[in-house]
A and B are shown apart, each in its own frame.
Chain A
Amino acid sequence: MKSAIKPDMTVNLAGINLRNPVMTASGTFGYGEEFAEYVDMESIGAFVTKGLSLKPRAGNPTPRIVETPGGMLNAIGLQNVGIDAFIAKKVPYLRSVNTPAIANFFGSTVDEYAEMARRLDEIPEVAGLEINISCPNVKQGGIVFGTDPGCAASVVSACRAASKKPLIVKLSPNVTDVVTMAKACEDAGADALSLINTLTGMAIDLDRRRPILANITGGFSGPAIKPIALRMVWQVAKGVKLPIIGIGGIMNATDALEFMLAGATAVQVGTASFINPGAAQKIAEDMEAWLIAHGISDIRSMIGALET
């Protein structure tokens, strides 16, 4: 019997070497250490921090989350410890883990975005930056920058000038044409794109005649959004040359591999980590098993290999 050869699972994401394509999505994995009990951090490709800002943010009133069939809505409101506390209290953990940490961040002005990029650029433990121009839940949470190509370009250019680290731009699906946004970010100097952030949604309590979320609307995530995310990743992959991180309802290795076929170089696991804190590790292991079962020696051969 021929013994199975371990496939090459490594991918290069805009200069960041990942041991496998599975990352965790911002806002679903804390600052990493919350999951240390459940995940072998050195079994995943990279992890992304909760979205960071210059000042700490307390977030929105409750209720902040509600489940809907096949998904959930959240309106956390970008609660985070702020950049100073991140450096003092969270970076030491990043140093202890041999896995790239990507810092997700946002600002309310172009200058704030640039200042955040400059501050994060100084942290050796941060392997790359993910610019959040797509949070739907706060007025100044970036969505204004994420829905206008000119605004997006100015944020990306300013961050590009402020940091030498790989720059990932996280795109919103709440736009008329995601490819236009992707191209604007590519032209402005982004190194990679991650998509999709959550879709704006809403849930209503019929008896009380009130919205369930205190914020009224929230970001919709979970397996229900996967078809939309796949479509957008496929469209953007055809329209730009940048590497893409596919995000949206990934629950298992099959989902992750479908995103790679659609054109993603890596994927981010989000809501699934809430359900199974070890989801990202399991998905990475199962992807490798799938490759072995199908006699595929290199995960990179899956990227954009969709036949149409």
Chain B
Amino acid sequence: MQFTAMILSNVEVSPGYWRMRMTAPPECAASRPGQFVMVRVNGAIDPLLRRPFGIFDIGTYTPAQSGAIPQPYLEMLYRVVGKGTAMLSTLHGSDLLDVLGPLGKGFDLGSPAEEKLIVGGGVGLAPLYLLAKELAQGSEVRLFAGGKTRDDILCITEFERLGVECYTATEDGSLGECGLVTEALLRRLDQLQGGATIYACGPHGMLNAVAGIAAERGIPCQVSLEGYMACGVGACLGCVAPGHSHSPDTPDFRCVCTEGPVFESGELKWRDRP
């Protein structure tokens, strides 16, 4: 669906990373973890296209006036990377946004009995908070958050409040372990008693490593991909990712916006990708 959202807050939570809360129609309350929205930053022709953002959280707030009834809101966590996101970061409460969504196929929550291992890198944490919130209601959940520096480790306190055990790693050692967060993931996998599912979103290198680990150990793994897309509804075909049997002679492309953005890692091709 397409709707006009009013910004409720837009705050820089870490250098270069912003968290925006906006009003949402009641239909958005049914958003699934892993779904995304396409946001038009303004009505002008530059930037021309909408920008895709993972849904960070949904909930309700009660407006300040007396007698107000709770209203649904939607949150997104975004990184300022170019002109569109830079403009988004200058918007304030009461500004309006044109939003399309929720779009795409979200995460499969699986069986509550299994341990849930969530792996996120930088802004890849965006769709994982709503996931952790839902998973933590019935399962043991652990978060493995990685980044180049401490600035890339976002909203950990919020995850901890859900009762999620958090492991952090940074490449420069400024927060948590020094190195890649997949090391902590591997250690946890070594200690596993029962079944587990891995959920990951982040830079391609991280997803590639996580998908490799999952395949090696025979653990189900779902990844959420980013795609450069114009429409978000399966028409432009800009955001495709190679499926597992893809080769130049037997092309197999999956549409990230409609078939994903969440895929079983085994559905995708991981080698030969930059």
Chain A residues in the interface with B (C-beta under 8 A): 27-30, 34-35, 37-38, 58-59, 62-67, 69-72, 74, 76, 79, 222-224, 251, 271, 273-278
Contact = CB atoms under 8 A, between A and B. Distances in A.
A70 B2 CA distance: 22
CB-based closest 5 A-B pairs: A58-B251, A65-B238, A274-B230, A274-B231, A30-B235
A29 B234 CA distance: 9
28 contacts: A28-B235, A28-B236, A29-B235, A30-B233, A59-B237, A59-B240, A59-B251, A62-B227, A62-B238, A63-B228, A64-B228, A65-B228, A66-B228, A67-B47, A70-B45, A72-B48, A74-B236, A76-B237, A223-B45, A224-B45, A271-B48, A273-B235, A274-B236, A275-B40, A277-B231, A277-B233, A277-B235, A278-B2
B196 interface: no
Nearest to A214: B274
Contacts of A222: 45, 48
Contacts of A66: 228
Main secondary structure of the interface of B (DSSP, over half): loop
B169 interface: no
B216 interface: no
A58 B45 contact: no
Contacts of A29: 235
B46 interface: yes
B100 interface: yes
B235 A67 contact: no
A62 B49 contact: no
Nearest to A77: B237
* Interface range for B: 20 to 34
B49 A72 contact: yes
Nearest to B40: A275
A34 B98 CA distance: 20
A237 B87 CA distance: 41
Contact of A38 (B228, B229, B233, B253): B233
B235 to A, nearest CB: 4
A276 B228 contact: no
Interface in B48-71: 48-50
**Which of B49, B230, B233 has most chain A Cβ within 10 Å?**
B230
